[in-house]
Structures are given as C-alpha cells and as structure tokens.
C-alpha cells in the first residue's frame, strides 16, 4: 500500500502556548503547555472518548440487542463529528489511512490470528481460499465491469473515470472486511463452519485486495495503452508473490516468536510483550516488502499460538490473551467511532445517486451470485456440503468496512478525479453493510431457523427422545467420518512431533504438551482455587480438614442461575447429610420438565460458536463435555474391571507418545494402556482453548508428572506419600491392580471425588476431600447398587486399544 | 475415478452391499477408508476398542451404547458389511425412488432409524424398554447433579406418558408413537475430510 504522509490535524481553536516564544520576565509558577503535548493528549483523549462511547450504549441493553455494537459506535461517531464540526466548522479529526493501517489494524489482525481455531481453519482452508481468492476476484471484476457498463450507458452522468479506475474501485470495495465481520458475527451465533468460512475469507482476501489494488493502481498510472499481456502476467505473478510471500513472512515471525519464548524463562515479566512486538514487526515487515501485511500477521498468530501457549508460563499466556483482546477490541471501537466522525465532513461528499445506488445494488447482487456459484462448485468436492441457508447467511455476511475506506483514502487525487465520489460511495456502502446488514443479520438467522421449527416438546418422552436422537446422530457422524484420520493430517502431526516440538518448545513444555497432563494440571489448579474460594466464603479453610462433616455447599459451583430458579423444588447440592434427608422428603413433586431442561446434556451441535471476541472462554460447554467424558471413561473402566477382575496386573500400562516404540505397544497384553489412558483422561479434557483439541495420549505421564510437577496442591499432597515410585512405564494405578477398597493411594483427581454423584443414598461417596487413604472412587465400592447396574448393562468391555495410532490430532 | 474402482474391487460383494444399502460407490469407498483407518491392526474386523479410539465418542453421553449397537449380540467383531449396513440406516433419504408401499422398507427409513434408537435403550433385547433401562439412559444423559430420586421420578413419568398398554415398559410401537417434536432429518453428513455440525434442517415429519 502506498504510504501517505500524515496530515496531522491541528486544532484551529486551540490557545497558543506562550511559554516558549517570549522571553520571560518573571518566574512562571504554572505554564500552559498545550503546544508541547497536544498530540499525545489528543490521541489519549480520543481513545478515551471512543471507549467511553462503548460504555454509554451498554447502559441500554435493549439497544445493543437490536443494533450491533459497531452500528451504535458509528452513530455516536456521527454525533461527535457533528459536535466537532459545529465547533470548528471543519472536520479536524478524521480517520487517517496511515493511522488506520499502522496503528489500529495490526492488533485486530494479530488477535484474529492468535485466537483462530486452528483445526477448523485448516480443515476448511480449501473452501476459505476459494472464497477469498476467486470470490474476491469475481466481486471486483463484476462490480467494476458493471459500473463501467452503466457509466458507458450514461446512467451516472458525467463523471471523469474510466474502466481501470472503476475496476480499482471495484477491487477495493469488493473485499469482505474482517473488522466488520468480527463485529457483527460476534453477536450472531452461527455454527462454527459458517463462521470460519466467512471469517477466514475476510482475513485471507487481503492478499487479493492488495494485489488488485496495486495492479490496477499501476495500470492507471501506466495508462491504458501500456497494458499488454506481459503486464497482465506480471499482475498474476504478483498475486502469488504477494500472497505467498506475506504468509511466509508471517510464518517466519511465528518461528521467531516460538524460539524466543523458548528462552525467555527468566524474563517472564516481559515475555508477553515479545508476542506483540514481533507480531507487529511481522505486519510491518510484510508492508515494507510490499507483501500482504494482513496475511503475514494472521499467519504469524495462527502458527505460533500452539507453541507459545505451551512454552510460556500460564500467567504470561493469560496476559497475552487478555491484552490482545483489549487492544483488538479497543482498536475496533476506535475505528468505528472514527468511521462515524469522518462522515461529518462536507468537503468529502460528492453525491451521485446513480453511482451510489448502483454500487450498493451490484455489491449485493454479485456477492450472492458469487457465493452461490462458488458453493455449488465447492459442494461437488466438499464432503459435507453447505446448505442453502448457510449460503444465504454467507452471502449476506459479506460486510465491507474500514479497510475499504482506508484504501480509498489512499488514492491519489490527481490520478483519480472522482476520488471524492468514491470516498462518499465507500462510506455509504460501509454504513449500509455494517448497520443495515448488521441489524438484520440476527433476525435473519433466527428467522431462517425458526421458520422451520415445529411445536415445542410437550412431553418428557419427547424431550428425551429428541435429545437421544441428537446424541445418536452426532455419534454416527463421528463413527462414519471425521477429520482425524486424514493422511495429510497424520503426516503433519508426525512432522510436527518429530521436528517442531524439538525445535520450538522448551523441554518442559514438550512433556507437558501432553494434553492429559495439561488437563490434570488445570484441574488441580481449579480445584485449589475453588477450595480457597469456598473457604473464604465460609470464613475459614477449616472445613477442608474436617473429616466428619462434609458440608461443603457446592451450590455455588454449578451456577447460581438454575439453582435460583429451582431452589425451592430441587434440593440444593449440599452435602450436609441431615439437611439432605429432610429436603428429599419435600422434593417429591419437582418439575421434571424443568429438570430435564436444565440438566440434559446438550448435543455437540448445540455448542456453537465458541470463538468469541468478547469473551475469552466458554466454560459451560467445556464443563459438560468434561463431565460426559469422565463418566464415559469411568464406565468403560467399570466394565473393563468387571470383566477382567482378578486377573494379573497388566504388563504394560503406558501408552507411548513416540512412534518409535510400536512393538511394545503392539505386544501389550489385553490389559494395556486402555484403562489407564482412560483413567487418567478420566479427569477432564479440554477442547483446547488454543484449539489443539483432545488427543488421547500418555498414560503414565500424568502419574509421573504429578509427582514431579511444580503444581502442588497442598490439600491433597497427603495422598501422594503413599504412592510407590514405580518406574513410569509400569506404573499401575492401584485401583486397577486390586479391586479392593483400600488400594487406592493415588487419586487421579480430587475433582473426581467431588464430582461423584451426590446422592444421599450413598454416603460413602461423599467422603471428605482429602486426607483419607480410602479410595473415594465410588466405582471401587463394589457394593453400590447403581454401579452394579451400570456394569451389567454396558457393552462388552472394550479391551484397550493400542496407543499407536492415537496421534489423531483434530 | 480410478481409485474408487480399485478400492471397490477390494471389497467383497460390493454390488450386493450397494444394492442393499443404497450407498453410492463413492460413499462406499469413503466408508471403506474410514473402516480401514479405524481398523488399526488390519484384521478386517472392528472391535469395540477400535471404536473406543474415536475420541469424540467419549464425549457423547450415549457413545458407548452406540458402539455396542454395532455389534450383534454375541459377536465380538464387526466386519465391513455390518458396519456399512448399520451406517446405512442414516443415509440421506433417496429423493429419486418413489414411495412404493409394496416394496420392503428401505434400509434408511424412519422406522429403521427408530429401531436403531430403540436398541440403544433396550440393552437386554427383550423388545421392551423397562424402567431400569430407561433409568440408565437417563442417568447417562443427565448431568451429575441430578439425584437418584429425581432420575427415578423422571423415568416414572416418562413411562407413564409413553406407556399405552400399562405394562410399565415401553415397547417399540409405543416408542414409535412418541412424536419427535422438532422435526428432524435423521441423517448424518458423512465424509472423512470435513466435519461440521449437522444441521437440523427439517420438514415436519408426519407418521
């Protein structure tokens, strides 16, 4: 992109300082120093004002539900612009392209890359590229040509433009804008695939936009006569160079960041800073080389997230995440406010109804045509076709935004006589898409789905049935076809494990890259913090140590919302035995419907759109999924044990991460890694906020790591002492080796103790949280009736799988 | 496609299979690839632990039951044909074939899907869903905060609602009669390369 000198606005009405110019005659006590500091002061003030705007309309929640935030910010921008204009009679503050492209955009893109769900992104990369490249070219070409046709036909009156200029205009307005897409789709929860397609497209089409912009700009400079085949071929080549080059720059910087974080163990204080600086440098470097800066920044974030999240200390990771969100959100706010302000400036407005209306029309129409066409082609090759509704939403979601505005401001007035017209049109288009399409997006999405919804479930049986079917379908889908076993993906995973981990991650990180360990670790931390919280709430941590009266009230833990609603009818989850008995009597007539509503596990397809810009995580889904997982594993263990009780302890428990020990795994007897894997996975697993997904892996690691790990959960350390230090590969979880109650020394997770069903009927399960050497694992208590049932009914116990192929990284 | 044909030739009795299940050759090939990918030890059969290797199934509250449903009673393994037959229940419906009442039910009819679901509940295969079986399913589908009493109550009420002949169990006929309120397309999207959440595109189903 062409750099323009900043034309810094200066306030016309400011008071001029007097200190520096006159010789002083007496000691001034206080000087008015506006002149010196006015620039940073204004910047800070504007940032503050923009962010305050966000606060202002949050006060009125019904407004935000209807109009997307971005729209509201633009409106406030109009108001502010009006005020300033009224005061100064000239628009002193505008969104300067340089400021936009170099100070406001990079962090948004970096944040987008860093929090990109990688699995989804790379899984759909083909489709994304098709939409980004071919779709944008199509949009640009058709728009330019259509406008040219109309111009030739005289519909626009007398404007001084030509085919190339119109093509240029087409190219800059054709691109779907990442900022606008994020802003609007954030609030509309569409399914993951749809989201990633639109979002990915908006990011990757920068490559095309840059190329087209430069190419047409150059063509306009050269003049129409000079364009021959050579130039056109050069244009095509430049596309590849720009796009691929930009991405490579990003990847290089990602490598740099990863390597750097490998060494920054001792400077954890400023470790997070490196990410930002290097991310920004990747943007600037690509810009310097006239490659695509957005692509560079995106790929930098995308490629490095896994490694830096593993390498850095947790606090650094959360610092990075939070700070990125602050920057990105803040920039977005500022951008939209200034988009509004910039409009209140009569000097830029040139109104040509035909041009504007035609542009709007063509954008819309050609976007839809493009989407439908491309999707039709893609659906031939895609194994999960995109259906009509998704295509509609995708077409409708082609929002234009600030990037187009920034680009149009970069045009040279002398070459483009109609620059003002283009600016005006761009602004109108941006407003139209952001506000109108933004406002109607949510209702549209809801309407398209609601239209087909039938009567709500009236009976319990229906509800249960429906939910069963949900789960069933999801399961069948998983069984029949899933990303995991893709050849390419396996190859990449192997390569990654072999080389990249070694290169880019610290040794500790490499070990703990094992997701089981990660989970285990997180679990312990969570347990510890929740205990402390509970203790503080109750005034002291003494309850933790009280063996007899386990009356920790876990009501709070599981969400106050539902408990408030059903508090009277459903007994709260209180472990106080006496209270419990009484309450049970009263609760005979609770609302079964309500219960089902609240407590049925949602099917996976209802977990939508976790990739939120405004929130850092979505906890509820993870919770549920973890719980299901735990239970599945427990029940598998159950069935396994019940079938193989009394048999000699397994020879080989561990599951090997490295591929170079396949033989051992193969020879593993039937008692090998399976139950251990599941016991340890038992605890929890996370979908991976860094999108690394669940990977079944190392059985023995958590054991070993638990001992050696720095995470010491003091309340539970007592359990550890009794554990024998067995060689890692042969560590047998004691509840596997013996089926007796007293065997377990090592409890995989205190959470497991907590999470066991809190039914008052089985008091033994509700043993206190620590210090007992009993196993509190209810499934070891063979006398419990519920589990007996469970044992007999489960499918034939699955003997353990060999660990080999578990590199199914999703 | 060349690779399709070569893969197809590896599968014994593939025409019969296609005829029976209605899958296209491309589908069969994909399923075969999937089968082979799951069958890590290349025995030609799948065992329960091969299914267990599918991580996402562990996230499914009734995942294990579904795995069980693939295995006929008494069998320890499932071969490719059975694999495909079961998945065929969920094949998207043919738009081309007209509904011919004299022909036997197509394998992916709504009834066969319901039968499959019924199997999930009815573990002891006596043709009825007893209260205990229902309780188990409920237990697995409800979060852990729900107490036994509540579960039992729900199970009782459900049986009350659905049980028409008052035998305290739900037979298949009664099971069928439960309307699926949110009409749903009881199919899945299959494909080894892409994975997306299935849509609930629905036209109201009439029985």
DSSP track, A377-418: HHHHH-SS---HHHHHHHHHT----HHHHHHHHTS-TTT-TT
Q: Is B103 on the interface with A (CB under 8 A)?
A: no
Q: Do A802 and B40 touch (CB under 8 A)?
A: yes
Contact B182 A466 (CB under 8 A): yes
Nearest to B194 among A123, A452, A810 (CB): A123
Size of interface A-B (CB pairs under 8 A): 298
Per-residue pLDDT, B192: 36
Nearest to A471 among B30, B62, B145 (CB): B62
Ordered mean pLDDT values, 10 residues apiece, chain B (207 residues): 67 79 77 80 80 74 81 80 81 53 60 82 82 84 77 81 80 78 46 34 35
**According to the model, what pLDDT value does residue B180 have?**
64
Which stretch of A476-480, A751-755, B32-36 has the lowest confidence by average pLDDT? A751-755
Pairwise CA distance, residues A618 & A557, whole Å: 16
Backbone phi, psi, residue A226, to 5°: -80, -5
pLDDT tens digits along A221-256: 887 677 778 888 888 888 889 989 999 999 999 999
Residue B200 or A637, more confident: A637
Q: Is the CB of A599 less than 8 angstroms away from the CB of B146?
A: yes
- What mean pLDDT, rounded, does chain A reach? 69
For A228-287, the DSSP string reads: -HHHHHHHHHHHHHHHHHHHHHHHHHHHHHHHHHHHGGGGTTTHHHHHHHHHHHHHHHHH
Between A58 and A698, whose confidence is greater?
A58
Q: Using a CB–CB cutoff of 8 Å, tell me whether B157 touches chain A.
A: yes
Using the CB atoms, write b or e for A574-595: b if 16+ within 10 Å.
bbbeeebeeebeebeebebeeb
* A387 contact B CB<8A: yes
Chain A contact for B184 (CB, 8 A cutoff) = yes
Name the token pair of A597.
């509503």
**A632/B59 CB distance under 8 A:** yes
Nearest chain A Cα distance for residue B111, angstroms: 13
- First CA to last CA across chain B, in angstroms? 40
Of B50, B144, B154, the CB nearest to A627: B144
To the nearest whole angstrom, how far is the Cα of B91 from the nearest Cα of chain A?
10
What is the predicted pLDDT for the residue at A249? 94
Is A232 part of the contact surface with chain B (CB cutoff 8 Å)? no
Is B82 in CB contact (< 8 Å) with chain A? no
Which of A452, A464, A477 is opposite residue B188, by nearest beta carbon?
Answer: A477
Scanning every residue of chain B, which has its alpha carbon at the shortest distance from the alpha carbon of A809? Answer: B55
User: In angstroms, rounded to a whole number, what is the distance separating the alpha carbons of residues A192 and A691?
Assistant: 13
pLDDT of residue A324: 92
Token pair in block for residue A87: 């005061």
Of A463, A472, A755, the CB nearest to B144: A755
Is A469–B62 a contact, with Cβ atoms under 8 angstroms apart? no
For chain B, positions 7-36, list CB contacts with chain A under 8 A.
30-31, 34
pLDDT in tens, A10-54: 333 333 334 445 677 888 888 888 888 888 998 899 889 888 888
Of the candidates A605, A799, A805, the beta carbon closest to that of B197 is on: A605
pLDDT of residue B200: 32
pLDDT interval class at A371 (50, 70, 90): very high
The shortest C-alpha distance from B104 to chain A (Å) reads 24
Q: Higher-confidence residue: A493 or B134?
A: B134
Whether the complex's predicted ipTM surpasses the cut of 0.90? no
CB nearest to B197's CB, from A191, A452, A468: A191
Give the Cα separation of A126 and A105 in Å (integer): 26
Shortest Cα–Cα distance, A705 to chain B (Å): 23
Q: Do B58 and A633 touch (CB under 8 A)?
A: yes
Chain B touched by A662 (CB under 8 Å): no
Average pLDDT for A391-399: 87
Q: Which of A472, A599, A799 sits opposite B120 (nearest CB)?
A: A472
Name residues 669-708 of chain A within 8 A of B (Cβ).
Answer: 674, 678, 681, 694-696
On the question of pLDDT at A549 being above 60, the answer is: no
B55 Cα to chain A: minimum distance (Å): 7
| Least reliable range by pLDDT among A118-127, A246-255, A739-748 | A739-748
DSSP states of B86-102: HHHTTSPPPSSSPP-TT
Through-space distance between the first and last CA atoms of chain A, rounded to whole angstroms: 37
Please compute the mean of the pLDDT values over residues A546-569 and round it to a whole number: 41
Q: Does B76 touch chain A (CB under 8 A)?
A: yes
Q: Which one is predicted more confidently, A784 or A167? A: A167
In angstroms, rounded to a whole number, what is the distance separating the alpha carbons of residues A466 and B14?
Answer: 34
Distance from the Cα of A623 to chain B's closest Cα (Å) equals: 10
On the question of pLDDT at A296 being above 90, the answer is yes
Backbone dihedral region for residue B100 (phi beyond 0: left; psi -120 to 50: alpha; all else: beta): beta
Q: Which of A449, A465, A625 sits opposite B178 (nearest CB)?
A: A465
Highest mean pLDDT among A518-522, A532-536, A753-757, A761-765: A532-536
Assigned token pair, A505:
């991650």
For B58, name the nearest residue in chain A, comparing CA atoms only.
A629
Task: Say what the pLDDT of residue A109 is.
Answer: 92
- Which of chain A's residues have a Cβ under 8 Å away from the Cβ of B188? 473, 476-477, 480
Q: How confident is the model at residue A647, as a pLDDT?
A: 44
**Chain B partners within 8 Å of A122 (Cβ):** none
Cβ atoms A251, A233 nearer than 8 A:
no
A29 touches chain B (CB under 8 A): no
Which pLDDT band, with edges at 50, 70 and 90, does A614 fall under? low
Rounded Cα distance between B17 and B23, Å, is 8
Specify the pLDDT at position A661.
37
C-alpha–C-alpha distance, residues B161 and A688, integer Å: 41
Range of weakest confidence among A189-203, A427-441, A620-634, A694-708? A694-708
CB of A473 less than 8 A from some CB of B: yes
- What's the whole-number mean pLDDT along residues A258-267? 85
Residue scoring higher pLDDT (A787 or A472): A472
Lowest mean pLDDT among A294-303, A361-370, A449-458, B163-172: A449-458
């Amino acid at each position: 992109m062409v750099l323009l000198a900043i034309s810094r606005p200066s306030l016309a009405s400011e008071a001029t300082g007097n200190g520096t110019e006159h010789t002083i005659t007496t000691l001034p006590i206080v000087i008015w120093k506006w002149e010196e500091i006015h620039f940073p002061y204004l910047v800070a003030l504007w940032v503050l004002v923009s962010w305050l705007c966000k606060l202002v309309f949050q006060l009125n929640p019904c407004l935000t539900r209807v109009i997307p935030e971005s729209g509201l910010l633009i409106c406030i921008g109009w108001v502010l612009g009006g005020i300033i204009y009224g005061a100064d009679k000239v628009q002193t503050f505008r969104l300067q392209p340089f400021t936009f492209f170099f100070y406001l955009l990079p962090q948004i893109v970096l944040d987008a890359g860093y929090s990109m769900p990688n699995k989804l992104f790379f899984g759909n990369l083909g489709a994304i590229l098709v939409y980004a490249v071919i779709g944008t070219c199509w949009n640009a070409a058709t728009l330019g040509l259509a406008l040219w046709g109309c111009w030739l036909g005289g519909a626009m009156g007398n404007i001084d433009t030509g085919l190339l200029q119109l093509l240029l205009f087409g190219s800059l307005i054709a691109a779907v804008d990442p900022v606008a897409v994020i802003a609007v789709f954030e609030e509309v929860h569409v399914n993951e695939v749809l989201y990633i397609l639109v979002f990915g497209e908006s990011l990757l089409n920068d490559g095309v936009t840059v190329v087209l912009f430069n190419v047409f700009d150059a063509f306009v400079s050269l003049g129409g006569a000079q364009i021959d085949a050579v130039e056109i071929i050069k244009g095509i080549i430049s596309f590849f160079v720009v796009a691929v080059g930009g991405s490579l720059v990003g990847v290089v910087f990602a490598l740099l960041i990863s390597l750097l974080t490998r060494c920054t163990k001792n400077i954890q204080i400023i470790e997070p800073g490196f990410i930002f600086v290097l991310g920004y440098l990747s943007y600037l470097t690509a810009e310097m080389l006239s490659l695509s800066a957005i692509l560079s920044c995106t790929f930098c974030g995308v490629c490095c997230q896994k490694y830096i999240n593993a390498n850095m200390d947790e606090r650094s990771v959360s610092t990075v995440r939070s700070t990125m969100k602050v920057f990105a959100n803040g920039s977005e706010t500022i951008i939209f406010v200034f988009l509004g302000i910039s409009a209140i400036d009569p000097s830029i407005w040139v109104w040509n109804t035909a041009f504007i209306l035609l542009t709007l029309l063509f954008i819309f129409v050609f976007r839809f045509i493009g989407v439908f066409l491309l999707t039709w082609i893609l659906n031939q090759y895609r194994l999960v076709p995109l259906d009509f509704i998704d295509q509609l939403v995708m077409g409708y979601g082609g929002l234009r935004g600030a990037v187009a505005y920034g680009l149009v401001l970069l045009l040279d007035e002398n070459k483009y006589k109609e620059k003002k017209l283009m600016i005006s049109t761009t602004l109108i288009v941006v407003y139209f898409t952001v506000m109108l399409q933004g406002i109607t997006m949510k209702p549209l999405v809801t309407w398209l789905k609601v239209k087909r919804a039938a009567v709500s479930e009236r009976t319990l049986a229906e509800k249960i049935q429906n939910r069963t079917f949900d789960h069933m379908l999801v399961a069948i889908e998983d069984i029949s076809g899933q990303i995991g076993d893709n050849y390419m993906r396996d190859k990449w995973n192997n390569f990654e494990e072999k080389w990249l981990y070694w290169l880019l991650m610290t040794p500790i990180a490499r070990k703990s890259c094992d997701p089981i360990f990660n989970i285990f670790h997180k679990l312990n931390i969570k347990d510890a913090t929740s205990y402390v919280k509970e203790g503080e709430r109750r005034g002291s941590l003494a309850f933790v140590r009280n063996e007899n009266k386990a009356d920790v009230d876990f009501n709070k833990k599981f969400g106050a919302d539902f408990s408030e609603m059903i508090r009277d009818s459903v007994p709260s989850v209180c472990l106080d035995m006496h209270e419990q008995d009484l309450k049970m009597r009263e609760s005979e007539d609770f609302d079964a419907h309500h219960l089902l509503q609240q407590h049925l596990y949602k099917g996976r397809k209802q977990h939508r759109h976790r990739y939120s810009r405004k929130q850092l995580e979505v906890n509820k889904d993870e919770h549920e999924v973890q719980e299901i997982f735990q239970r599945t594993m427990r029940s598998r263990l159950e069935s396994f044990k019940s079938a193989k009780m009394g048999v000699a302890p397994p020879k080989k428990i561990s599951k090997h991460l490295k591929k170079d020990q396949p033989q051992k795994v193969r020879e593993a007897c039937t008692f090998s890694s399976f139950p251990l894997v599941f016991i340890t996975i038992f605890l929890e697993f996370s979908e991976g906020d860094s999108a690394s997904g669940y990977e079944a892996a190392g059985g023995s690691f958590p054991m070993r790591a638990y001992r050696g790990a720095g995470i010491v959960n003091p309340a539970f350390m007592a359990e550890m002492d009794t554990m024998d230090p067995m060689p890692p590969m042969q560590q047998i979880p004691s509840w596997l080796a013996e089926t007796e109650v007293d065997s377990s020394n090592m409890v995989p997770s205190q959470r497991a103790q907590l999470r066991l069903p809190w039914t008052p009927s089985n008091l033994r399960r509700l043993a206190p949280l620590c210090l007992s050497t009993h196993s509190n694992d209810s499934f070891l208590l063979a006398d419990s009736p519920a589990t007996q049932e469970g044992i007999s009914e489960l499918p034939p116990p699955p003997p353990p799988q060999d660990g080999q192929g578990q590199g199914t990284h999703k | 496609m060349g690779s399709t044909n070569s893969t197809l030739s590896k599968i014994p009795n593939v025409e019969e299979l296609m005829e029976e299940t209605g899958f296209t050759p491309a589908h069969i090939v994909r399923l075969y690839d999937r089968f082979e990918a799951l069958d890590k030890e290349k025995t030609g059969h799948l065992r329960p632990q091969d299914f267990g290797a599918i991580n996402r199934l562990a996230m499914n509250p009734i995942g294990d039951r579904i795995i069980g449903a693939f295995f006929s009673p008494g069998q320890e393994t499932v071969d490719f044909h059975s694999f495909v037959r079961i998945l065929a229940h969920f094949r998207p419906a043919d738009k081309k074939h007209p509904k011919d009442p004299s022909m036997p039910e197509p394998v992916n009819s709504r009834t066969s899907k319901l039968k499959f679901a019924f199997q999930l509940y009815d573990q002891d295969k006596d043709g009825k869903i007893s209260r205990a079986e229902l309780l188990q399913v409920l237990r697995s589908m409800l979060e852990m905060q729900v107490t036994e009493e509540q579960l039992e109550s729900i199970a009782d009420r459900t049986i009350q609602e659905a049980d028409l002949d008052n035998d305290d169990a739900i037979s298949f006929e009664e099971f069928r009669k439960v309307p699926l309120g949110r009409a749903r397309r009881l199919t899945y999207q299959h494909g080894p390369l892409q994975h997306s959440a299935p849509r609930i595109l629905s036209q109201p189903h009439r029985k």
